[in-house]
Chains A and B, each alone.
Chain A
Amino acid sequence: MSVALNGEKKDVGAEITIRNLLFKEKIKVHDYVTVQVNGEIISSKDYDSFVIKDGDEVEFLYFMGGGR
């Protein structure tokens, strides 16, 4: 199945959880990644259970912040 990952069409095999898609994409710091699926921001506590389906639009962003 294919999804739009950060705007690019990508074949990800079968249905996959957000957690495993992050691993597959070699994203390391999952606690600092914000994920949007079809325009909705998904809570990080759902990364293990939320399943990405064919045709979904998935966006990843690194948290951006800092402090003195």
Chain B
Amino acid sequence: MKITFKKSDYDLIVQHSREALPNEACGLLGGVLEQDGTHAVRRVYTLTNTDASPYHFSMSPSEQFAAVKNIRENGWKLIGNFHSHPETPARPSDEDKRLAFDASLSYLILSLSTENPVLKAFRIENGNASETEILILN
């Protein structure tokens, strides 16, 4: 159970998250579910954090709908989402876990609390998070 994406998609997550500072940033991941369960990202959708807060995020529902439609038009699936932690490590908070309703998704967290950003991926089921491997392809 890993997640793969291109370096350019990784760079987009970092760029979007840095631009949103000091607030948390968020977005969706469209892609394909490979036979071995790997989530292969095909496109990163950067969304507005309607909370505009350094401590919380809520994805804009209208932007979510638009992204999901685009994902479907491309024959992909919604395979995950991401959000940033401006000042804290890349691990899901209690609220992140409580509000993770879809156990089929990869939940990515980018920490900007150190000079080099740290991206981690998790599956979250019934409030329990388990880290999964991330593979960045060229």
Contact = CB atoms under 8 A, between A and B. Distances in A.
B133 interface: no
B85 A68 contact: yes
A67 B95 contact: yes
Nearest to A64: B59
B95 A61 contact: no
Contacts of B20: none
B65 A32 contact: no
A32 B58 contact: no
B91 to A, nearest CB: 10
A34 interface: yes
Interface stretch (B3-11, B33-41, B96-104): B96-104
A65 B65 contact: no
B65 A62 contact: no
Residue among A61, A64, A65 having the largest count of chain B Cβ atoms under 10 Å: A64
Interface in B1-60: 24, 26, 28, 51, 53, 55-59
B93 A68 contact: yes
7 closest Cβ contacts across the A-B interface?
A67-B56, A66-B96, A65-B58, A62-B101, A34-B61, A64-B59, A67-B95
Interface of A: 6-7, 29, 32, 34, 36, 41, 59, 61-68
9 contacts: A32-B101, A36-B61, A63-B99, A64-B26, A64-B64, A64-B81, A66-B95, A67-B57, A67-B96
